Structure 1
Amino acid sequence: MTAYVQKASLPPAPPPPAPARRWSATRITGNVLMALWIVAGIWLLTYLGGRIGGDFLANYWQRYEDGVLTTLTLVGASMVIGAVISIPVALARASRNALLAVPAFAYVYFFRGTPLIAQTFLIYYGSGSFQPLLKDAGLWWFFRDAWYCAIFAFSLNTSAYQAEILRGAIRNIDRGQWEAAKALGLGRLVTLRKIILPQAMIVALRPYGNELILMIKGSAIASIITIYDIMGVTGRSFSRTYDFQAYIWAAVLYLLIVETLRRIWDQLEKRLTRHLVRR
């Protein structure tokens, strides 16, 4: 009679311990820099906390609030106008007709390839060279105002970037969408408006958010042409007090605006793409 002995199941052997990380020069440098950033952050919070009830904020905080409103209005108007301009520019860029594609390419190439500050100066200061012509055309009231010039320059600049974002999003849509719409008897404009653009907007949502944040930070250029946005108010308050906390508060306000917009944009993206999430 053969006896079968059942072996007792043994517990799995524990994994070998992970090798200890060596303190390389890169790791030491990274930890030192992180410690310095933490110390600087603690010092900054302590510094600002001790001045919340000070004379500087009591005298200038209302102006900072006006500067925030000016910045948001300037960027918001520019983004909306730029979005309207970007649609025909993007369609022209994607066209096979050279009469449309070449001017659109030149437009995008110029406004993406030159600094925003140069474009703003060309419009605000350069328009004075054409004052008689602009007066005859009834446009001098527009170009003599720094506010309108800033919106005009910012709109043209962001429209070039938005056009490239939209063009890339349209090209990302599968060609089968066009073919299916054609098989259903839909015209090209109807297909573009009801099928292609809604999908392209979802694809372009994240790049649009990045462009909005870049415009928020780039809007500080408007202060150079006498617009009292955040940086305009900051420069004015510093010139009267020579207190460098003026620039610290400006940086804090920009950080708060950018972080708030980033969180809002994340929620908007989750809301609009919830049907794409795998269950």
Structure 2
Amino acid sequence: MDLSIIFENLYRYESGLWVTLQLTFLSVGIGLVFAVLIALMRDASNKILSSFAKSYIYVVRGTPLLVQLYLVYYGLSQFAWMRESWLWVFFREPYFCALFTLVINTSGYGAEIIRGAIKQTSVYEIEAGYAFAMSKMQCYRRVIFPSVVRQAMPAYFNEIILMLHATSLVSTITIMDITGAANQINSRYYAPFEAYLSAGALYLIITMLLVGSFTLIEKHVNRHMVATA
């Protein structure tokens, strides 16, 4: 194992690390907004909204992320109307295509997580909210959403870690994330062990830091339950 290869190319990993973190947190942050909307649409009384949300979740969860990425990056460019529209300014960029695909993917999984958390909210808590003359919006804001945050937190934190690992696929469309940096180093030095071991170590360190942070956040959010117990 030639450690000099790793140390000489640390700047590549540093650049790739920044891209990986950007894509992870931007996709999860934007995806969370859409996940909440889709989860609410899924349980809406309007059949059109409910059917759309159900189909969206089914398609996103039923197709591989890599296929979704290829459809967005390679597929859309074959349509003349796309290349001639103002959208092409965005979709011709690999970074935007990667972010767009990751947002779609995580919003589909996130919507199901949030929907499940809403379903787990005690009906008695909701009825108590209405008994205190809360409107539907007030009940969502003061009763349902706080409960959803506590219920969905562990699963959603796991989704963030999965999304971190999923960003490795963006290297297939020329983006120099951590995996992209490893590919570049391997193609230059023909040292797959050094290149991908370093990349794996970086993903492992980030995951450990995230898990530690999530544990602290969960303890902070649920501190009142611990105190009551």
CA distance in 1, matches of 2:177, 2:184: 11
Counterpart of 1:246? 195
Aligned alpha-carbon RMSD (Å): 1.3
Does 1:83 find its partner at 2:19?
no
Counterpart of 1:74? 23
CA distance in 1, matches of 2:78, 2:219: 49
1:93-124 CA deviation, whole Å, 9 max, x = no partner? 12233222111000000000100000000000
Q: Which amino acid aligns with 2:163?
A: M
Worse-superposed segment, 186-195 or 263-272: 186-195
User: Aligned runs of 1:5-84 on 2, under 5 Å?
Assistant: 51=3, 54=4, 56-84=5-33
* Structure number with higher helix proportion: 2
Q: Which amino acid aligns with 1:61?
A: L
Structure 1, unmatched stretches of 5+, are: 1-46
User: Aligned runs of 1:103-252 on 2, under 5 Å?
Assistant: 103-130=52-79, 132-243=80-191, 244-252=193-201
CA distance in 1, matches of 2:46, 2:87: 33
CA distance in 2, matches of 1:62, 1:96: 53
SS at match of 2:55: helix
1:184-206 CA deviation, whole Å, 9 max, x = no partner? 22211221122211111111110
1:38-81 CA deviation, whole Å, 9 max, x = no partner? xxxxxxxxx6xx82xx2x12321011011111101001100011
Q: Which amino acid aligns with 1:102?
A: S
Q: Which amino acid aligns with 1:241?
A: Y
Structure 2, unmatched stretches of 5+, are: none
Counterpart of 1:272? 221
CA distance in 1, matches of 2:7, 2:117: 48
Counterpart of 1:28? none
Instruction: Specify the structure having the higher radius of gyration (Cα).
Output: 1
Worse-superposed segment, 59-68 or 231-240: 59-68
TM-score in terms of structure 2 length = 0.95
Does the CA-based 8 Å contact 2:6-2:195 persist in structure 1?
no
SS at match of 2:9: helix
1:123-163 CA deviation, whole Å, 9 max, x = no partner? 00011112x31244311011000000000000000000100
Deviation at 1:88, TM superposition (A): 1.2
TM-score in terms of structure 1 length = 0.79
SS at match of 1:86: helix
Q: How many residues align?
A: 227
Extract structure 1 runs of 4+ deviating beyond 4 A: none
Q: Which amino acid aligns with 2:204?
A: L
CA distance in 1, matches of 2:147, 2:135: 17
Does the CA-based 8 Å contact 2:6-2:194 persist in structure 1?
no
CA distance in 1, matches of 2:127, 2:150: 20
